[in-house]
Amino acid sequence: MARTVLQQTDIARALTRISHEILESNRGAGDLVILGIPTRGVILAERIGQLIAGIEPGADPASMIGSLDITMYRDDLSKNPTRAPSPTRVPRNGIDGKTVVLVDDVLYSGRTIRAALDALGDLGRPRAVRLAALVDRGHRELPIRADFVGKNLPTSREERIHVRLADIDGVDEVTIEG
> Residue 44 sits in a domain of what CATH number?
3.40.50.2020
| Within-domain flag for 3 | no
Q: Whole-angstrom Cα distance, residue 73 to residue 49?
A: 25
- Tell me, yes or no, whether 55 lies in a domain: yes
Task: Give which of 157, 162, 159 is closest to 174, Cα–Cα.
Answer: 162
In the chain, the percentage of residues whose pLDDT exceeds 70 is 97
CB-based burial, 64-89: b 16+ in 10 Å, e otherwise: bbbbbbbeebbeeeeeeeeeeebebe
Q: Say if 50 falls within a structural domain.
A: yes
Rounded to the nearest 10 degrees, how much is the dihedral formed by the CA atoms of 80, 149, 67, 125?
-100
> Is residue 167 in a domain?
no
Asked whether residue 71 is assigned to any structural domain, the reply reads yes
Model confidence pLDDT, tens digit, residues 119-131: 999 999 999 999 9
**What is the structure's pLDDT at 83?**
66
96 CB contacts (<8 Å, ≥6 apart)? 124, 125, 126
The whole domain housing 107 covers: 10-75+88-152
Q: pLDDT (tens digit, 9 = 90+) per residue, 93-117? A: 999 999 999 999 999 999 999 999 9
Triad 46, 3, 169: Cα angle to 5°: 35
Per-residue pLDDT at 81: 60
How confident is the model over 31-46, as a mean pLDDT?
97
Q: Is residue 92 part of a domain?
A: yes
Q: What is the pLDDT of residues 152-170, one digit of tens each?
A: 999 999 999 999 999 999 9
Does a structural domain hold residue 175? no
Domain count, the chain: 1
For position 120, what pLDDT does the model report? 97
Residue 112's pLDDT is what?
95
| Confidence (pLDDT) at 96 | 97
DSSP classification of residue 99: E
* pTM assigned to the model: 0.95
- Does the residue 125 lie in any domain? yes
